[in-house]
Structure 1
């Protein structure tokens, strides 16, 4: 339960408990004794010797018989100077899941929760998932509950807290796609298969293929996997397949032998070729207008890097046959020079181990990494706004394309007027020197100060990770990638730069923020995707026109592919890498042994995996109330709720402390009865005459599985009381939550709020403004109020994300 406790601390705690209990007792007194006690229930681990240069793993696989070799057949390194790869098999874990009644029944329960047609809420709602069950596909004629589609994640992590001491090891994780996101994104059900050890002197492994081959071989043996189905109380055959890959661009390059993000053929999703800019000394991607439909006004507009009419069509991807042929050609090249030329022209480096899967199709099963892409894109925008693109390199780039004449000409005049010192430093810093304080794409010093003041005055809700601060001068105050995304999706970014940029640039950034907000939405409508794609391609084209080409990197280009893949892969919300990054963080915290850190992690994970299984299956229920806030316990409670025959009328959850109970007034009773009859379509049988008052917080779970916390006026914390939008008056009515009421109807808890109502708001542009004077209090059901809103107090209250 407390995975932050060390083994020594656990041993001390057990010894204290053992000595306190009546003697004799069977409580283990140390960590070692406790592990021995549960060892029969743990999944057994497999350990393999590996070549120190990552050439082979010493095991027998098909025609390759390496288990008895004493030297590596590739590099001739002796086996004694080896690395050890610890592997946790997949088959026993899948069999355990199907054999457990509660967990197996969950697979069938999810099938009953059919989403409305036209709504995409997860990857399983997308076109790609549905195509797997069509004739001729991998799961043809199989029921979804008898299929185990998996996704793979891997990334390099540094287990050392000292970043100066670099050491890169690669955890391999699989996730079960058809499990609900709240379960499959937990570390326990997130299947950690093994950790690839680092190379010589802590460097990255030279190749991942020898280690991934162990996963591939087991997947091939599990293609038709017999298990006992505890839901049907009968044996069945399960089909297992690895059909999705979730990695960032560097990991994709290493796993699937692709070129890096700095090359001309760096995009792994299309045949687009970048442009190498000698002034910036990097590759830029100026193909945004190619994604626009023919006849679009921007295809013939001026101000773009490629002047004149854009006649090129949208870049197309390689077919699987074309890619396999080019990879084979790479392997047949006689020397490194010819291979490098082949790689430069195609973006492919040769064959890789995952191609041995008979159903593998990289272009269909590989989706863009939205988390890193959007977070890095936002960072680039903010760095541009504070003047980091006002350098000689950027000016020279714009001059070479004939753009922003007034900027680079004035910069050249200003540079010429500077008196040069007689002695120059050896290090040339001219290319990084800021030439002008303000450009059409950046803010002046006074404007940056204004933006920081606005960013410091914003009041966020409890669900936001952001804290107010000078985010423009101190970009590190947006510490996490999620905070960067929330800074844009909450409307805070647009509020901070309001009226500070030229009209054209400000409108373009508003357009960009609008499409990002829609891209990261946890729910999408199929009919709206086409318009979202058109708006995104147009917004990125405007970004190319109105801002410097220095930000037209691979990150910007990948946003085109993110929106184009929404219909196939579903919302980004179900494919975020945030849970995997948190899992990587857990891995690094378990690296205790110096030199072979990954070995201790797998020994710890096999115990953690069993503990998670015991909790999720309901065989162990934590009785400590202090653990109720943990995600694992909450998820277990949700599973147990789904296993019951009846479903609660209200999906809200309230884990806060109850204060007082009072009788319902006649006016309140009449209001509640009318609401129940009109909205819940329920009779008023078993209508409780009492309500329970709570003055602190209320936690509910929306239909996307996200937790929302409402805060009352008496909450003792850093966050202010929640301001919400109220029904009626055309959406111009807002209020501040005072306290909460719980009312029982037909055995189900209904949550109500008492709200201080403010005067009707005035719409000023895209924002709402009202005075902070309370007109009175009203009662509202929690289902009719909005999520807590982000606001600013400045001669009134401004709502910036209504």
Structure 2
């Protein structure tokens, strides 16, 4: 049908005939004259009218020219329709009209934008309404979005935000349209947000009341009522006993592609240039490429989404004594670049499982609606509009793996994570041993991962008293796991995971990722707790020594019984009181860059010689770099070296870019490291977390860098969700409402140029300098000022050509000194400042625009009155004189003064150092090298030569005995 009339003048005959043809076409196809969607530019198919009103609207307002495919008026949908409109946006209606332009919407689609399409149309109208009469900068909608953006960014309470709105309304001229309460603001924003569903759940987690159970009032499995029981034991009909909040992901994925910038970012992985042999993104990993190779039609479309899922419980209440636990289920899209994909904006909340108890192994019941949406996403969702390419396409998505802590790993995968078969990768071949006195399972036997001819395999006394002839277990494939659970093999498996309902799930090499964050923390806690003998974290004790006696190993460490008390000989891991104080003092005095970690000083208890209150990131920084420094001069070499190797391993495995060629060597080295730990530490040290370290390299090889698969971003996001809770009696409702409101704000901020998004926080600005204390102004010695000024000039890129010219000038003026480097440098230092001043002045006289303003003020020199500071922030690192707490400075020395040189238009801070040598401190006999793990890591023969062949001798000299009364 000819549609060229849509672009004609509304006064022309072509437009008149076109309107009549369009209305006749709509009436013939819709068989009605009273309920037809109006396609004018104001109604944009959101409102229903009769033919007469529509005719008037189309004449007076004009027809929406982007409405190419008349799907609302009987024309079939065309999947390959391309957008031909101009995508430039202006302030007002067109900024938001892309939501419904050229998108195939039926009545159900309007639900994606809120519960009422007319409310949505009213909000779109707010995009044209000024915030007060005569205002040109802000509309009602843009002002509200900016205000709510501030609320979300700074965590304002609803009461505070309401009072701010009232004050704002009073400050603005009469007739302003600022909402007067949080309720009104939320009502406006939620019309732009996407909906959620509340589903009733059996209190015993048996079923969701959906599909065939939607009208049931009692659970068909356990028979318990659907409704909540009151205090008087009377059922409150209509009030559900348990609820799960579901946020459908499909409309949210559609909305991602409706943003021009986001749609472009979603194909970043295909447009980037990858480096052979290196992995810096999951797109470089074999798991990603398996989907491309096994399903080419999926891999050939770069817009198809690769997802990961994470779930964990958190306490929404401020009281730590509360055991309330609600569980969010979060999706993340890996198509995005690294600086976006794990950010708050792209954390998609899909499920919110109500507390107070965690779902445990019944979490599959709650995941049913999500799996039901992931199935059609794998087949394909037709008619998704791509705003970047201006076309429709069929969207597909695949879930690559899940990310959880270890208990939740078991809940989602269905595997056992406790007992003899606790390792989900080793399965039936998990190397485990029960400690009778410790009443727990230890996981020793890592020698089976060594090469067959490795000398450690033949050593007996240093390990479990036996030679090792075993081979490492092969990880089970998804098909093998599915076969086992379907055939009732429940030794290692508690259930068939609901994820196997996804047809591609069984083919994935890694279906559930080990969380390096929690492994790192638990291993660090074990090491610190054992070294400093922290109660509840110490892996040593009378029970651990008795287990050595039962196993018949490490006889020199077994308890010695006296008449009144029992003596525990000190082991390689035991520290004397003085050594504990030395370790704690080392931590107490550590200086780290600002933002690198929390203040380590606050974690140290010098009185008790302990580290207290270590969080996950504190443990991460300790294991990465700080622990090897703190123990550099304590412990015997074997134990110290084993711990240092383990720290280097975590440092290497957490790299942002993975060198594939080094992974085999890295895996060999970590196996040797675990064997060294077995050699010098008690079996009780080896819980399941220490054992899982042996599998981390495998997952890096298959999935890419660790920082895409650890829990840090999800834990931070759960902190955000916890901040949403204002009503402690209805935490899930608060989270749901605040989430969809923030979704609406994020949706709008993409189209407001002067609003920063909350979900992608701006990083700290590098290079911004500012003082951290007050100053004293002093007129300094001219020679010292010249030294500081010369240092600034020689470190300014714009001055470097002048330095070369000056050196040529000196060599020309003094030819007999051309080869005397020191003389030339001294002459340059003494004359360059004055020479540069005259040189720049002469260039300014010739051409005023030939010299930059910065160079002009630099050549003029600084003010002789210099502000002196005690602390200063330089490039996001804090420097203080003599006693810095935070440091990231490009020099080594002790700061005497901090000068802020004033060049009229700008200031430049410089540090004046002491020239005296401050002692000659010996740091210890181990050189700490934090380069890649394999560098400086001797093989086992070199190591034995280094520490001496100790055989079965483990006892330490010079350490206090441990006495048990």
Structure 1 residues 348 and 363, CA, compared in 2 at 3 Å: closer, same or farther? farther
Mapping for residues 405-554 of structure 1, pairs under 5 Å: 405-408=555-558, 411-414=559-562, 416-418=563-565, 436=568, 438-469=570-601, 470=604, 473=608, 475=610, 477=612, 479-490=614-625, 492-554=626-688
Aligned equivalents of 1:669 and 1:153: distance in 2?
48
Structure 1 residues 241 and 442, CA, compared in 2 at 3 Å: closer, same or farther? same
Is the contact made by 2:545 and 2:568 (CA closer than 8 Å) also made in structure 1? no
Mapping for residues 95-244 of structure 1, pairs under 5 Å: 95-134=254-293, 136-137=294-295, 140-144=298-302, 146-198=303-355, 202=357, 204=359, 207-223=362-378, 224-226=380-382, 227-244=384-401
Residue 172 (structure 2) pairs with residue 21 (structure 1): yes
Residue 465 (structure 2) pairs with residue 307 (structure 1): yes
- Aligned with residue 2 of structure 1, among 145, 148, 151: 151
- Secondary structure in 1 aligned to 2:574? coil
Mapping for residues 661-740 of structure 1, pairs under 5 Å: 668=796, 672-673=800-801, 688=852, 690=854, 696-699=872-875, 709-711=876-878, 719-724=885-890
Structure 1 residues 531 and 739, CA, compared in 2 at 3 Å: closer, same or farther? farther
- Secondary structure in 1 aligned to 2:346? coil
Residue 531 (structure 2) pairs with residue 375 (structure 1): no
Aligned equivalents of 1:149 and 1:674: distance in 2?
54
Is the contact made by 2:311 and 2:404 (CA closer than 8 Å) also made in structure 1? yes
Where does residue 762 of structure 2 map in the other structure? 634
Deviations 1:303-326 (A, max 9, x none): 344333211001112233332222
Aligned equivalents of 1:686 and 1:152: distance in 2?
58
- Secondary structure in 2 aligned to 1:608? helix
Is the contact made by 1:289 and 1:537 (CA closer than 8 Å) also made in structure 2? yes
Deviations 1:615-666 (A, max 9, x none): 4x2525338xxx9xx773427x9xxxxxxxxxxxxxx85455699xx99959
Where does residue 78 of structure 2 map in the other structure? none
Larger Rg: 2
Q: TM-score, normalised by structure 1?
A: 0.77
Q: TM-score, normalised by structure 2?
A: 0.64
Where does residue 721 of structure 2 map in the other structure? 587
Where does residue 73 of structure 1 map in the other structure? 220
Residue 182 (structure 2) pairs with residue 31 (structure 1): yes
- Aligned with residue 546 of structure 2, among 396, 417, 420: 396
In structure 1, the gaps of 5 or more residues are: 331-341, 419-433, 638-651, 677-684, 700-708, 726-732, 744-750, 770-802
Deviations 1:402-448 (A, max 9, x none): 2222222xx3235x433xxxxxxxxxxxxxxx954843211122221
- Aligned with residue 350 of structure 1, among 495, 503, 510: 495
Residue 460 (structure 2) pairs with residue 327 (structure 1): no
Structure 1 residues 440 and 766, CA, compared in 2 at 3 Å: closer, same or farther? closer
Structure 1 residues 138 and 352, CA, compared in 2 at 3 Å: closer, same or farther? farther
Is the contact made by 2:267 and 2:336 (CA closer than 8 Å) also made in structure 1? no
Where does residue 532 of structure 2 map in the other structure? 386
Aligned equivalents of 2:605 and 2:802: distance in 1?
47
- Secondary structure in 2 aligned to 1:133? helix
Count the aligned residue pairs.
Answer: 673
Aligned equivalents of 1:112 and 1:462: distance in 2?
35
Structure 1 residues 398 and 104, CA, compared in 2 at 3 Å: closer, same or farther? same
Aligned equivalents of 2:497 and 2:421: distance in 1?
19
CA RMSD of aligned residues (A): 3.6
**How far 1:219 moved relative to its partner?**
1.1
**How far 1:686 moved relative to its partner?**
8.8
Is the contact made by 1:120 and 1:523 (CA closer than 8 Å) also made in structure 2? yes
Richer in strand (by share): 1
Aligned equivalents of 1:597 and 1:606: distance in 2?
15
Is the contact made by 1:101 and 1:231 (CA closer than 8 Å) also made in structure 2? yes
- Secondary structure in 2 aligned to 1:153? strand
Aligned equivalents of 1:593 and 1:435: distance in 2?
56
